[in-house]
Structure 1
Amino acid sequence: MILLGTIVNGLAIIIGSLLGLCFKRIPERVKTTIMQAIALAVMVLGIQMGMQSEQFLIVIGSLVIGGWIGERLQIEDHLNHLGQWLERKTGAKDGEGQIAKAFVTTTLIYVVGAMAVLGALDSGLRNDHSVLYTKALLDGFSALLFTTTLGIGVIFSFVPVVLYQGSIALLAGQIDRLLPSELLDMFIVEMTATGGVMILAIGLKLAGILDMRIANLLPAILVTGGLVSIVYYVDLLF
C-alpha cells in the first residue's frame, strides 16, 4: 500500500498530540524550559541541514524568490486563517491565536524536512516505508512535546502532512520517469539545505529571538527545484 507510511506518520502525530494533553498541567516555568530546549534542538537541526548545501547560492536564490512569492500569496495569513477556522469549528480554546500558532509552527517543521520527501518517494517508488516509519516516531514524540507547550493545535498538523507526503508518494512514479537520478539527488541536497534555513528560523522564533512570517518562505522549496534544474542542464551544455 503506497500510502501506508504516510498514514502511519499522520496517526503518530495524532497519538503524540493526544498524549501531550496528559501533561498540560505541568508548571509554567517547566513548560518554558521545555520550549527553550525544543527551540535549541530545532535550531541545531536547521544548522545541520543547512550545512549540507553544495551550492549555497541556490539556497539564497530560492529563499529570496520564494519569500517574494510567499509574501505576494500571503501564505502565512492563509495558514493562520485555516488554524482559526479549525479553532472555531472544533470549539477548541487554547488561548487567543494559540491554535493557529501551534498548527502553523508544527506544520512547517513536519513538511520542510528532507525525510518527508525522501520517505514519500521511497513509499511511492519501492513501497518501502522505513523512512516514513522513522519520521513517524520522531514526529509523534515531538508532537507530544509541542502539545505540552503550544497546545492542542499541534494535532491539526497531521492534515497537511498527509496531503503533502501522500501527493509525493502518488506522483513518485512520474517524478522518477521525468527526472534523471542525478538531478533528483541534487534537488534533495539543496532542498534539505533550504528547508534547514527555514527550520533554523522556526527555532529562533520559538525562542522568541526572531519574529518572521516563516510560512511565506514555503515556495522556496519549489523554487529550489527550478534553480537546481537550470544549473543541472546548464552544466550539461557547457
Structure 2
Amino acid sequence: MFIGSGTVLNVVTVLVGSGLGVALGGRLPERVRRVVTDGLGLVTLLVAAVAAADVLDPGLAAATGTGAPMLIVLGAVLLGGILGAALDLDGRLVALGRWAERRLTRRPREAGEAGDAATEAVRTDRFTAGFVAASLVFCTGPLTVLGSLNDGLGNGAEQLYLKATLDGFAAIAFAATFGWGVAASALTVVVVQGGLTLVGLVVGDVLPAAHVAALGAVGGVLLVGVALRLLDVAQVAVASLLPALVVAPLLVEAVVRLR
C-alpha cells in the first residue's frame, strides 16, 4: 500500500460510518441515542486508561528517573494547556465547526423556508458539537500520532487501519446522535493525520521510545477529557490541551539532558 493509505481509509470509514449513523439516527428515539453516546464515552475512557498507562513504561522511567514520568505528564498538560488557552484553540475549533456547518449544509432560509431562529441555532449547535467531539476523538489518541508517523516513515499503516475500523464504528454512534457534523470531522482527520504522515516522511524516525511513551500517556489524559465531554460530566476544553502532545517529548528530552 502507498504512504498515506491509512489516512485515506480513515476518511472513508468516517464518511461511511457517518452516513449510516445519520440514516439510523432518524429511526432511533432520543433516549436510545443518549445511551449510545454514553456507551461511546465509557469505551473512550477505557481506551484512555490503556493509553495513559504508558506513564508506567519502564523505558520512560529508565530515561528520566522513576519519579519523573508523572511530573512530565503533569508539566506537559499544564504548559500545553496554557499555550492552547492563549491561542484559544478550543474556540478556534468550535469556529471551524460552525464554518463547516455553513459551507456543508443548507440552512433553512437558503432552502426557501422562513425558518425559526431558535430551531436553526439548535441545529447549528448540534452540528458543531458533533464536529468538535468527533474531531477530538478521531485525532487526539496515540494511534493518530504513532500510526501517522509510522505510515510516513514507511513502517506500514497497520495502526491506522485499526484506527480507521474503530473510527468507522464510532462515527456511526456519533452521527446517530449529532448528525452530519460528524462527517465534517473527516476534514480534521485529513489535516491532522495527513500532516503527521508528512512529518514522518520528511523528518524520519526522530522520537526515541521514551519520548513516544510520554506522548502516549498525555494522549490518554486528553482522551479522558473527551470521554467526560461525551458523558456530559464536564465540558473540558480538550482542543486547548492539544499542545501538550508537543510539549511532552520536549520535556522528556530536557530531563534526559539534565540528568
State whether structure 2 residue 24 is matched by structure 1 residue 23.
yes
Q: Which residue of structure 2 lines up, in the alignment, with residue 151 of structure 1? A: 179
From 123, 127, 140, the equivalent of 1:112 is 140
In the TM superposition, what whole-angstrom CA distance separates every residue of 1:7-45 from its partner, at most 9, and x where no partner exists? 111111111111111111201111111111111111222
Deviation at 1:92, TM superposition (A): 4.9
TM-score by length of 1: 0.91
From the CA coordinates, give the structure whose radius of gyration is larger. 2
From 111, 121, 134, the equivalent of 2:149 is 121
Q: Which residue of structure 2 lines up, in the alignment, with residue 198 of structure 1? A: 222
Distance (whole Å) between structure 1 residues aligned to residue 155 and residue 71 of structure 2: 34
2:89 counterpart letter in structure 1: I
Alignment of 1:8-19 (within 5 A): 8-19=9-20
Alignment of 1:51-66 (within 5 A): 51-54=53-56, 55-66=69-80
Distance (whole Å) between structure 2 residues aligned to residue 10 and residue 201 of structure 1: 23
From 46, 50, 53, the equivalent of 2:52 is 50
Distance (whole Å) between structure 2 residues aligned to residue 29 and residue 114 of structure 1: 31
In the TM superposition, what whole-angstrom CA distance separates every residue of 1:105-133 from its partner, at most 9, and x where no partner exists? 11111111111122112212225122111
In the TM superposition, what whole-angstrom CA distance separates every residue of 1:179-221 from its partner, at most 9, and x where no partner exists? 2xxx432122111111111111111121111122221111111
1:42 counterpart letter in structure 2: T
In the TM superposition, what whole-angstrom CA distance separates every residue of 1:34-61 from its partner, at most 9, and x where no partner exists? 1111111112221222122131111100
TM-score by length of 2: 0.84
1:150/1:167 CA distance change after superposition, 3 Å: same
Q: Could you list the runs of 5+ residues in structure 2 that have no partner in the other structure?
A: 57-68, 108-121
Deviation at 1:224, TM superposition (A): 0.9
Distance (whole Å) between structure 1 residues aligned to residue 145 and residue 208 of structure 2: 11
Q: Could you list the runs of 5+ residues in structure 1 that have no partner in the other structure?
A: none
1:210 counterpart letter in structure 2: A
Number of matched pairs: 231
Alignment of 1:19-98 (within 5 A): 19-25=20-26, 26-54=28-56, 55-92=69-106, 95-98=123-126
